[in-house]
């Protein structure tokens, strides 16, 4: 066990459940939770029995680790899974933008109806804290996936009002592209050989980037710090996609193909409309809810300017090749 496990943590003695626990985020979160906290039980909730089996073998039947096959669309299954759980991390979602445009209601059923199931089950089962993962695509969305995640964010924020005098509190974490995660462009770029072609949408396109470790540890901090109703946004660097290609596949040929349906030139995590409710802290922002419920403690922070907008092209922090290499190592 890591020496860090001796530190006091909000997870100590808690049963912690991760929806989508076999995904990139879920696997990393579980790994850190098992190694560095005294969580009494860590539950992986997901649909894929094969991935659960692989994960179980990697942990050699760790007595604190449990696996629960289920779908967030299944309300009754969530009620069973949440029994005795103190903390829920909601990482399950349908995410592929083109698939969302062709199968819109499937995304609605998982990313919206599934979220309402989680909210109801958490309140009724007495879960104390729920943190949901969001995406930069939920801010001023232009595609169906982003729209479903925006609705999801609003449902989780409103869930605090639904909870009323109950112990359950909900918060959201919103961040950008995860370096090296499943579905990331990074592995593809690293495989490109000399003179192979990479289809680049637009040389001006920028994106936010965060490492998986940073994302997981930020979520763990949010569980500790949340009051309920906040959307937490970490300060993370930006990089042009063209520079990313040149850094990881310098000998590849770049073919500009144009911005695809549902894509933006630049991503955004805090819109101008959200600025009036946004507080700045040292290494992150907090978007406060529109409406506060009676007796709710308000988070601390410095209000941002009224015309503030946190977008990947107007960022103060940019990745260069050396720093990118360091983050990927």
Q: How many CA atoms lie within 13 A of 104 on its CB side?
A: 6
Non-local (6+) Cβ contacts of 251 within 8 A are 192, 193, 194, 195
CA distance 183 to 91: 15
137 as an active site residue: the answer is yes
Does residue 228 contact residue 299 with C-beta atoms inside 8 Å? no
Classified as helix, coil or strand, 18 is strand
Tokens of 102: 């062709």
Q: How far is CA 257 from CA 144, 238, 254, 298, 317, in A?
A: 22, 22, 9, 47, 27
Classified as helix, coil or strand, 298 is coil
- From the candidates 137, 149, 240, 264, which is the catalytic residue? 137
> Could you give phi then psi for residue 41, rounded to 5 degrees?
-155, 135
Active site residues: 137
């Amino acid at each position: 066990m890591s020496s860090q496990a001796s530190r006091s943590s909000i997870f100590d003695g808690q049963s912690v459940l991760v929806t989508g626990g076999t995904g990139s985020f879920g696997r990393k979160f579980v790994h850190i939770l098992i190694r560095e906290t005294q969580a009494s039980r860590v539950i992986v909730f997901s649909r894929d029995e094969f991935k659960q089996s692989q994960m179980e073998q990697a942990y050699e039947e760790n007595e604190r680790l449990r696996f629960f096959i289920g779908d967030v669309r299944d309300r009754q299954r969530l009620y069973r899974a949440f029994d005795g759980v103190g903390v829920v991390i909601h990482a399950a979602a349908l995410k592929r933008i083109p698939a969302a445009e062709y199968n819109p209601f499937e995304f609605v059923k998982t990313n919206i109806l599934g979220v309402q199931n989680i909210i109801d089950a958490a309140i009724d089962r007495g879960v104390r804290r729920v943190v949901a993962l969001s995406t930069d695509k939920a801010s001023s969305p232009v595609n169906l996936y982003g729209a479903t995640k925006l609705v999801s964010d609003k449902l989780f924020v409103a869930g605090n009002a639904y909870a009323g005098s109950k112990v359950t509190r909900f918060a959201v974490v919103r961040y950008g592209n995860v370096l090296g995660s499943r579905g990331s462009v990074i592995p593809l770029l690293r495989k490109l050989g000399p003179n192979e072609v990479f289809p680049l949408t637009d040389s001006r396109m920028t994106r936010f980037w965060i490492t998986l470790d940073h994302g997981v540890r930020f979520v763990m901090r949010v569980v500790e710090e949340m009051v309920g109703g906040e959307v937490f946004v970490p300060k993370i660097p930006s990089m042009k996609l063209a520079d990313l290609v040149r850094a990881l596949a310098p000998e590849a040929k770049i073919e500009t193909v144009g911005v695809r349906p549902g894509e933006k030139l630049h991503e955004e995590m805090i819109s101008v409309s959200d600025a009036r409710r946004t507080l700045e802290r040292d290494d992150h922002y907090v978007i406060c809810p529109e409406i506060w419920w009676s007796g709710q403690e308000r988070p601390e922070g410095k209000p941002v300017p009224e015309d503030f907008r946190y977008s990947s092209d107007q960022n103060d922090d940019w990745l260069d090749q050396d720093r990118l290499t360091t983050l990927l190592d």
